[in-house]
């Protein structure tokens, strides 16, 4: 084992900050994590910058301790580092590096006016969570801080800057800040010019956006200040090269080997999103985002703000019940038990319905959310159907978006790869997703490592690629060639059952809308 051949991937996710250290064979050698939660402050979903710092250092310290306990040697360096984070959002800084506003995450749905205007201006769908929508909405709102912006970035871009001093970003993450030109790894210059003419600011947009880099390029090295920031113990040495930082969409594609044309993956955790690499850009649809792979290929993305949060809340309730009757059960064991019960439920969930909207949801045009569970008097109210309802509901909004992709744009989906917490219980999440899309769903053995694993692979690609070697070729031949995976195909009955559930789900959406109108935050 040579530390210099190892690569480190760190991802700041919605509920956990996770780090994975891979050996020279791309096998996880050590891992670390730190749990955290977003906060709803004055109507804005956010994380405090101090919490970002604390969580990142705690996660790295956990990995460092696990590595040193296992290998009995100090972790003083690695071959390369890559930083990933929750995609998009809004993090503006002044020229001294001071934050000008609280971090506004992907979960916020407060930029509807800006997103709509920019979509018309660019003839290109601009989702509410994109950085440019947040920026323009702040301008429309008359927020005074916008005149002082010197640097606009995302969470991964912010951490990358703290480690290297460079305002740069991988193209996949950058494509969620501002549209990327179809034939270049860079922002669309025509759209840049249109935006600059639209607003009257002391800065030009290109000057405040990060420089765009493709996978495989070197994005700077760890500075002495950066090493101290990440590892206050002083053990970690500066000089380590960093890969271009990415968002969790790009790392998800990498972690599941879904980089090549006509491959696709679904990441399902706090949010869920489907990514399908296309042969060309598609038409303008409010429900479909056009982003890119870390290598710059066009990707059709269906993103949903809500996935497992409501499931987690119900599992917590069952855990409290178990404690109350004197039969406590480990949370992981409880998840496995309840997910497996869901498979025993009726294919159409027996007439039960739920809406897992903890926050707003763009695809169904809701600016806020209220989790709702409902049933008819004659519904089959069993534990099996109850749990299946929540798992199917977690993918229902995703299915609405995917139907546009497959039925209106005629994009074929031959197979999807899944990763994230939704797929942790073997076979269950795969079967539910397969029922939703009517196609096989595969999960690799390493899929549970998720985003930090994908980011570490991007760092390895930068470090080890051969001259002219494409990312998809590197992944296919040097990482996933002999990877263990399982594939599940739902039955015709399960596919029909999901369709029946979705029909009821769409028909009853006015119930969710009424809950939002009737119940204040």
Q: What is the DSSP string of 308-327?
A: SHHHHHHHHHHHHHHHHTT-
Please indicate, yes or no, if residue 374 is contained in any of the structural domains.
no
Residue the block writes with tokens 């797929």: 423
Buried b or exposed e, range 300-315, using 16+ CB within 10 angstroms? bbbbbbbbbbbbbebb
| Structural domains in the chain (count) | 1
Please indicate, yes or no, if residue 493 is contained in any of the structural domains.
no
Please indicate, yes or no, if residue 465 is contained in any of the structural domains.
no
Give the pLDDT score at 74: 95
In order along its 521 residues, the chain shows pLDDT tens digits of 688 899 999 999 988 999 999 999 999 999 999 999 888 888 898 999 999 999 999 999 999 999 999 999 999 999 999 999 998 899 999 999 999 999 999 888 899 999 999 999 999 999 999 999 999 999 999 999 999 999 999 999 999 999 999 999 999 999 999 999 977 899 999 999 999 999 999 999 999 999 999 999 999 999 999 999 999 999 999 999 999 999 988 998 898 888 888 778 898 888 888 988 887 778 888 888 899 999 998 899 998 989 999 999 999 999 999 999 999 999 999 999 999 999 999 999 999 999 999 989 988 989 889 999 999 999 999 999 999 999 999 999 999 999 988 888 888 777 788 888 899 899 999 999 999 999 899 887 765 567 899 999 999 999 999 999 999 999 999 998 888 888 999 999 999 999 999 999 999 999 999 999 999 76
Give the pLDDT score at 64: 97
**CA separation for the pair 194, 42 (Å, rounded):** 32
- Residue 82 in tokens: 């890559």
Please tell me what DSSP assigns to residue 208. H
Question: How many alpha carbons lie under 13 Å from residue 471 in its C-beta half-sphere?
Answer: 28
On whether the CB atoms of residues 393 and 354 are closer than 8 A, the answer is: yes
| Closest C-alpha among 18, 17, 81 to residue 227 | 81
Residue the block writes with tokens 């599940």: 488
Three-state secondary-structure class, residue 305: coil
**CA separation for the pair 269, 252 (Å, rounded):** 11
Residue the block writes with tokens 């970690």: 236
Please indicate, yes or no, if residue 414 is contained in any of the structural domains.
no
**CA separation for the pair 206, 218 (Å, rounded):** 21
Alpha-carbon Rg for the chain, nearest whole angstrom, is 22
On whether the CB atoms of residues 421 and 321 are closer than 8 A, the answer is: no
Q: Give residue 173's Cα distance to chain centre.
A: 10
| Closest C-alpha among 89, 103, 222 to residue 166 | 222
Instruction: Determine the number of helices (DSSP H) and then strands (DSSP E) in the chain.
Output: 17, 20
CA torsion angle 305 309 314 319 (round to 10):
170
Q: Residue 207 burial (CB < 10 Å; 0-12/13-18/19+)?
A: exposed
Contacts of 376 (CB under 8 A, 6+ apart): 351
- CATH number for the domain including 86? 3.30.420.40
Listed in order, strand segments (DSSP E) in 86-127 are 91-93
Please indicate, yes or no, if residue 484 is contained in any of the structural domains.
no
Give the pLDDT score at 448: 56
Other CB atoms within 10 A of residue 101 CB = 17
Note down the domain range covering 225: 3-256
Q: Give residue 451's Cα distance to chain centre.
A: 8
Residue the block writes with tokens 């985002």: 289
Contacts of 342 (CB under 8 A, 6+ apart): 384, 387, 388, 390, 391, 428, 432
| Closest C-alpha among 174, 213, 208, 206 to residue 191 | 206
Q: Give residue 406's Cα distance to chain centre.
A: 22
Q: Give residue 144's Cα distance to chain centre.
A: 30
Please indicate, yes or no, if residue 373 is contained in any of the structural domains.
no
Distances 116 to 113, 187, 286, 348 between C-alpha atoms, Å: 5, 20, 9, 36
**CA separation for the pair 199, 320 (Å, rounded):** 53
The C-alpha angle 242, 183, 89, rounded to 5 degrees, equals: 50
On whether the CB atoms of residues 289 and 340 are closer than 8 A, the answer is: no
Please indicate, yes or no, if residue 19 is contained in any of the structural domains.
yes
Three-state secondary-structure class, residue 211: strand
Buried b or exposed e, range 48-76, using 16+ CB within 10 angstroms? eeebbeebbbbbbbbbbebbeeeeeeebe
Phi-psi region at 89: left, alpha or beta (left = phi > 0; alpha = psi -120 to 50) = left
Give the pLDDT score at 471: 95
Please indicate, yes or no, if residue 147 is contained in any of the structural domains.
yes
N- to C-terminal Cα separation, the chain: 53
């Amino acid at each position: 084992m040579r530390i210099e051949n190892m690569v480190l991937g760190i991802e700041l996710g919605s509920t956990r900050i996770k780090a994975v250290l891979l050996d020279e064979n791309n096998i996880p050698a050590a891992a670390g994590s730190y749990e955290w939660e977003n906060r709803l402050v004055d109507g804005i979903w956010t994380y405090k910058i101090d919490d970002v710092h604390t969580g990142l250092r705690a996660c790295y310290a956990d990995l460092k301790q696990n590595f040193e306990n296992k290998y009995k040697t100090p972790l003083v360096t690695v071959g390369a580092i890559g930083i990933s984070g929750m995609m998009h959002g809004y993090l503006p800084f002044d020229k001294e590096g001071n934050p000008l506003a609280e971090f506004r995450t992907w979960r916020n749905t407060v930029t509807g006016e800006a997103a709509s205007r920019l979509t018309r201006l660019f003839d290109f769908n601009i989702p509410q969570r994109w950085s440019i929508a947040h920026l323009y909405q702040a301008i429309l709102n008359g927020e005074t801080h916008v005149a002082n912006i010197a640097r606009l970035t995302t969470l991964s871009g912010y951490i990358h800057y703290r480690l290297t001093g460079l305002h740069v970003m991988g193209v996949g993450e950058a494509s969620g800040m501002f549209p990327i030109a179809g034939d270049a790894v860079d922002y669309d210059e025509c759209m840049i010019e249109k935006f600059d003419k639209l607003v009257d600011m002391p800065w030009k947009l290109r000057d405040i956006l990060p420089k765009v880099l493709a996978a495989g390029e070197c994005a700077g090295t760890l500075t002495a200040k950066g090493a101290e920031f990440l590892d206050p113990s002083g053990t970690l040495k500066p000089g380590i090269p960093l890969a271009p930082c990415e968002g969790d969409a790009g790392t998800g594609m990498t972690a599941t080997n879904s980089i090549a044309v006509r491959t696709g993956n679904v990441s399902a955790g706090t949010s869920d999103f489907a990514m399908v690499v296309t042969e060309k850009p598609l038409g303008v649809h409010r429900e479909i985002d056009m982003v890119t792979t870390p290598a710059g290929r066009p990707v059709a993305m269906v993103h949903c703000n809500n996935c497992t949060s409501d499931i987690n809340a119900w599992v917590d309730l069952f855990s409290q019940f178990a404690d109350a009757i004197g039969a406590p059960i480990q949370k992981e064991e409880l998840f496995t038990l309840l997910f497996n019960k869901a498979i025993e439920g009726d294919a159409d969930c027996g007439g039960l319905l739920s809406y897992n909207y903890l926050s707003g949801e763009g695809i169904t045009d809701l600016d806020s959310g209220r989790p709702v569970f409902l049933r008819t008097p004659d519904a089959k109210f069993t534990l099996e159907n109850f749990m299946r309802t929540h798992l199917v509901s977690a993918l229902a909004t995703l299915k609405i978006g995917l139907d546009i992709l497959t039925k209106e744009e005629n994009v074929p989906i031959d197979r999807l790869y899944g990763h994230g917490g939704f797929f942790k219980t073997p076979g269950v999440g795969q079967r539910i997703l397969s029922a939703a899309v009517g196609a096989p769903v595969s999960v690799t053995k390493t899929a549970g490592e998720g985003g930090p694993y994908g980011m570490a692979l991007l760092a390895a690609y930068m470090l080890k690629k051969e001259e002219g070697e494409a990312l998809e070729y590197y992944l296919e031949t040097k990482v996933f060639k002999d990877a263990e995976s399982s594939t599940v195909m739902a039955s015709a009955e399960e596919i029909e059952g999901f369709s029946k559930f979705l029909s009821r789900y769409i028909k009853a959406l006015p119930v969710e809308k009424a809950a939002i109108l009737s119940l204040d935050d």
